[in-house]
Amino acid sequence: MEHRRLGLCVFLFLMFELHDVHGDLSYSIQEEMKRESVIGNIAKDLGFEVGILSIRKARIKTVGSERRYCDISLRSGDLIVSERIDREEQCGEKPSCVLKFELLLESPLELHRVSLQIQDINDNAPSFPTDIIKLEISESADKGARYRVDAAHDEDVGQNGVQSYTLQRNNHFLLNIQTTSAGNKYGELILDKELDREEQQDIKLLLTALDGGSPQRSGTVIINVIVLDANDNAPVFSQAVYEASLPENAVLKTHVITVSATDADEGVNGNVAYGFSRISEKSRKLFSLDRQTGEIFVAGDVDFEEGSTYEMFVQAKDSYGLSSDTKVMISITDVNDNSPVISLLSLTNPVPENVSPGTEVGIINVEDIDSEQNRKVRCFIQENVPFKLIPSIKNYYSLVTTDKLDRELMPHYNITITAIDEGSPPLSSFKTVQVSIADVNDNPPVFEEQSYNAYVSENNKPGHRLCSVKAHDPDWRQNGTVIYSLLPGVLNGAPVSSYLSVNGDSGVIQSVRSFDYEHFRSFKVYVMARDNGSPPLSSNVTVSVFITDVNDNTPQILYPSPEGNSFMTELVPKAAQGGSLVSKVIAVDGDSGQNAWLSYHIIKSTDPGLFKIDLHSGEIRTQRDISDSDNMKQNILVAVKDNGQPSLSATCSMFLLISDNLAEVPELKDMAYEDSSSQLTSYLIIALVSVSTFFLTFIIIILGLRFCRRRKPRLLFDGAVAIPSSYLPPNYADVDGTGTLRSTYNYDAYLTTGSRTSDFKFVTSYNDNTLPTDQTLRKNPTDFEEVFGDLDVSPEVGILAKQIVIPHVCFH
Ligand SMILES: *[C@@H]1O[C@H](CO)[C@@H](O)[C@H](O)[C@H]1NC(C)=O
Ligand SMILES: *[C@@H]1O[C@H](CO)[C@@H](O)[C@H](O)[C@H]1NC(C)=O
Ligand SMILES: *[C@@H]1O[C@H](CO)[C@@H](O)[C@H](O)[C@H]1NC(C)=O
């Protein structure tokens, strides 16, 4: 038998696993067992390892508000008693008493019905409704007359109920035991010897009721027989059984039914009074009986869920105490008066935002303790959330996700569960569950801007704030905490960290060193924003730093050499007319823009009316024709200013010798200022000699090139003259549209304007080796004079020649 049951359980269990049906377990136990008594072993009966029960959160779920009488010991898998079970309280007079509850297992949700049969023990003694039964019997009663005595009642059932009666030995009565159709036993007194009121007016008998339990229990009543003088009829009920139906929750004083008995006697003897002869405590609280009319009224709260049928016996008694009784059965009909009850059995809270759609996050149970249609329940949640309720087994529902979750969009959901029963009108109930979404580091920091530009003036202080970057990460706490850092890299051979630093928290970028515009004008670094998640996510952004120019470079005069360093002398032909180009001041500025826009001014000259300087080109021209009266030696002090704020300037002196022939210069040493030393004078002589020599070479070159022109069209000639790059400062700013020199290392400068054929040109790649080696300079001054004298050179050519020669003299 045990085997078969177990087999069935296992079979049902397998069915459950496959088809989501649930298996039954049934146990049997005596009432009034001590707490912790073992009822059976659930783990064994379900075929589980004991450990599975706690992993799957096995628990007992009672229906409705019922108390929980059993529990599971997760350690041993035993089903144990957790509260005193009184069969009489649970089931009253029902012959069989079964407690039903559910065993719930999670993941996957699994449900088993457990039924527990409660066996009766003989814990109640029989008892009579009253302690004394009054019986009035006429002295004329015949031998053999029967008098029914109210039955004793025992709350136990079956063998433990009332089984027999014994009557104390006496002179007049015998006891006969009768059984009703419902199986209840009662006693009848049978008159064995006629009564004689004159002999004995009052007889007391002791009646004992016995149950069949072991040990046997008993109850007694005293029957007080009063011997009467007259004779009459007992009242008779119109029906043997009265049945009535009453909706639950009927208001007080509602009429339920009327019982009625008639007595054949007349007058006082025919007056009938009604009373409950046997009624349970529960029924007594609910119903009242009008003694006179036999009407039964509602006297308490009638609740279908508390009890659906009530049985009671009503006695009708006439004035002489003759009585009969009838049974009244009241059945209660259900009204939809209970809303469904929603209980949340389990909930994963918070739910990580990266769970896949379809994940079960909770289990919900809905109960309605009404019956039939009234207990059928529909359950759903609102539409606009990414969750849904999937009906599971019986009254259970799984709450599952239907879509991807994103904590950054919605950090929690209020899910309202609605349950509606099918009664009319239907009753509903709501429960709101807040499901929080837990963060997962799924967003990298995002910079506010695509790229950042920072402008800084050169010569800035180290620690100067350049700009700040900002990135946002919508994740939670450390997953959204942004830390900034500089991506490692190399700039001009040095690590980027030696240029800039980034504040990890604020994103403020500061310079680490002072920048020099003339060294570099812009650079780019990468700044990374990383969150603090694990693993961290990051993104990067370029930060371009532009260094702006400051007027920190004074103009640098290339030609002539700045004042005080050397002398330079220009020959001005006597025949020079007004407007002739005499010389040119060449200057550069390491800055750029306005800061490198140079202007030239004569600030002092021997004869202020004779020469003028072009403001922007630096060309020195005669203002008028040279006349014989002009001083041969002219001295000009030129200032070169840039256009910066404040502007910086440099000055240089230029010596001009009005002469057609060096030989005409009588006192060369006078050319020097008063403080010039004799050493300087000798330098000047050497210079003049070199000038002559170079000029001679120049003439030769011109002549030579006239012949070679067609063969070497791209040589220096065509009027172009190269000046070695070594004259130029190492770096020049690239300046657009300011009229000054262009290109950092490579620029062309027109030294003369206005001359048709003989423009000078600086050529970048030029160096001294470019001069053909065979064109060695002749150092003989006479040669120079010869060449110079013989050739009919135009004044302009002469100037050109000198302008090439003199730098060589000065710088070598
Ligand atoms: C959820 O309910 C709480 C309070 O009950 C409220 O503060 C919150 O704003 C609600 N959230 C949403 C998304 O409706
Ligand atoms: C951050 O994200 C990780 C997963 O990427 C998660 O485990 C952690 O709980 C999150 N931290 C917070 C504070 O939410
Ligand atoms: C910077 O980010 C871009 C994409 O945003 C990525 O392609 C590049 O590899 C990153 N650079 C570094 C140095 O991490």
Cα(528) to ligand 3 centroid in Å equals 9
Average pLDDT over every residue of 202-226: 91
pLDDT at residue 94 greater than cutoff 90: no
Burial 645-682 (b: 16+ CB within 10 A, else e): eebbbbbbbbbbbbbbebeebeebeebbeeeeeeebbe
Minimum CA distance residue for ligand 3 atom 8: 540
Minimum CA distance residue for ligand 1 atom 9: 414
Cα(436) to ligand 2 centroid in Å equals 14
Write out residues with Cβ below 6 Å of ligand 2. 439-441, 476-479, 533
| Contact call for residues 528 and 540 (beta carbons, < 8 A) | yes
Cα(488) to ligand 3 centroid in Å equals 12
Cα(632) to ligand 3 centroid in Å equals 73
Residue 416 in contact with ligand 1 by CB distance below 6 A = no
Least confident piece of the model among 11-20, 28-37, 653-662: 11-20
Task: Work out which ligand 2 atom sits closest to the CA atom of 478.
Answer: 13
Task: Work out which ligand 3 atom sits closest to the CA atom of 526.
Answer: 13
Which comes out higher in pLDDT, residue 803 or 465?
Answer: 465
Minimum CA distance residue for ligand 1 atom 1: 414
The tokens describing 357, both together, are: 């759609």
pLDDT at residue 805 greater than cutoff 50: no
Least confident piece of the model among 17-21, 129-133, 259-263, 354-358: 17-21
Cα(529) to ligand 3 centroid in Å equals 11
User: CA 114 to CA 555: how far, in whole Å?
Assistant: 104
Average pLDDT over every residue of 368-388: 92
Of the residues 540, 541, 543, which should be mutated to test ligand 3's pocket, given the most ligand atoms within 8 Å of the CB?
Answer: 540
Phi, psi of 702 (to 5 degrees): -55, -45
Which comes out higher in pLDDT, residue 11 or 681?
Answer: 681
Minimum CA distance residue for ligand 3 atom 12: 540
Average pLDDT over every residue of 475-490: 94
Cα(356) to ligand 2 centroid in Å equals 17
The pLDDT assigned to 568 comes to 62
pLDDT at residue 733 greater than cutoff 60: no
| Contact call for residues 85 and 31 (beta carbons, < 8 A) | yes
The pLDDT assigned to 679 comes to 63
Cα(464) to ligand 1 centroid in Å equals 48
DSSP, collapsed to helix, strand or coil, labels residue 581 as strand
Which comes out higher in pLDDT, residue 413 or 64?
Answer: 413
| Contact call for residues 719 and 759 (beta carbons, < 8 A) | yes
Residue 414 in contact with ligand 1 by CB distance below 6 A = yes
The pLDDT assigned to 757 comes to 36
Name the region of 47 (left: φ>0; alpha: ψ -120 to 50; beta: rest).
left
Of the residues 407, 476, 481, 537, which should be mutated to test ligand 2's pocket, given the most ligand atoms within 8 Å of the CB?
Answer: 476
Residue 762's DSSP bridge partners are none
Which comes out higher in pLDDT, residue 369 or 233?
Answer: 369
Cα(539) to ligand 2 centroid in Å equals 19
The pLDDT assigned to 662 comes to 67
Minimum CA distance residue for ligand 3 atom 3: 540
Cα(539) to ligand 3 centroid in Å equals 7
The pLDDT assigned to 577 comes to 86
pLDDT at residue 764 greater than cutoff 50: no
Cα(353) to ligand 2 centroid in Å equals 10
Task: Work out which ligand 2 atom sits closest to the CA atom of 479.
Answer: 1
Cα(432) to ligand 1 centroid in Å equals 10
| Contact call for residues 807 and 726 (beta carbons, < 8 A) | no
Q: How many residues does the chain have?
A: 812
The ligand minimizing its distance to the Cα of 496 is 3
Q: Using one digit for the tens of pLDDT, what is the confidence trace for 290-331?
A: 999 999 999 999 988 888 889 898 989 887 777 888 999 999
Q: Which of 120, 99, 133, 81 is nearest to 25 (CA)?
A: 99
Task: Work out which ligand 3 atom sits closest to the CA atom of 528.
Answer: 14
Of the residues 437, 441, 475, 537, which should be mutated to test ligand 2's pocket, given the most ligand atoms within 8 Å of the CB?
Answer: 441
| Contact call for residues 328 and 313 (beta carbons, < 8 A) | yes
Average pLDDT over every residue of 353-376: 91
Cα(384) to ligand 1 centroid in Å equals 14
Q: Using one digit for the tens of pLDDT, what is the confidence trace for 513-561?
A: 999 998 889 999 999 999 999 899 999 999 999 999 999 899 999 888 7
The pLDDT assigned to 665 comes to 59
Beta strands per DSSP E along 260-386? 261-262, 272-279, 287-289, 295-298, 309-318, 323-333, 341-347, 351-352, 360-367, 377-381
Cα(487) to ligand 3 centroid in Å equals 10
Cα(325) to ligand 3 centroid in Å equals 100
pLDDT at residue 233 greater than cutoff 90: no
Beta strands per DSSP E along 182-233? 185-191, 202-211, 218-228
The ligand minimizing its distance to the Cα of 435 is 1
pLDDT at residue 16 greater than cutoff 60: no
The pLDDT assigned to 325 comes to 84
Supply the mean pLDDT for the chain: 80
pLDDT at residue 777 greater than cutoff 90: no
Task: Work out which ligand 1 atom sits closest to the CA atom of 410.
Answer: 13
The ligand minimizing its distance to the Cα of 411 is 1
Minimum CA distance residue for ligand 1 atom 14: 414
The pLDDT assigned to 745 comes to 31
Minimum CA distance residue for ligand 1 atom 6: 414
DSSP, collapsed to helix, strand or coil, labels residue 576 as coil
The pLDDT assigned to 68 comes to 84
Average pLDDT over every residue of 85-92: 83
The pLDDT assigned to 318 comes to 83
| Contact call for residues 657 and 633 (beta carbons, < 8 A) | yes
Task: Work out which ligand 1 atom sits closest to the CA atom of 434.
Answer: 1
Write out residues with Cβ below 6 Å of ligand 3. 487, 526, 539-540
| Contact call for residues 546 and 521 (beta carbons, < 8 A) | yes
Q: From residue 283, how far is each of 128, 150, 286, 331, 519 by CA, in Å?
A: 17, 18, 5, 12, 108
Q: Using one digit for the tens of pLDDT, what is the confidence trace for 600-632?
A: 999 999 888 889 999 999 999 999 888 888 888
**Whole-model pTM over 0.85:** no
**pLDDT confidence of 682, banded at 50, 70, 90?**
low
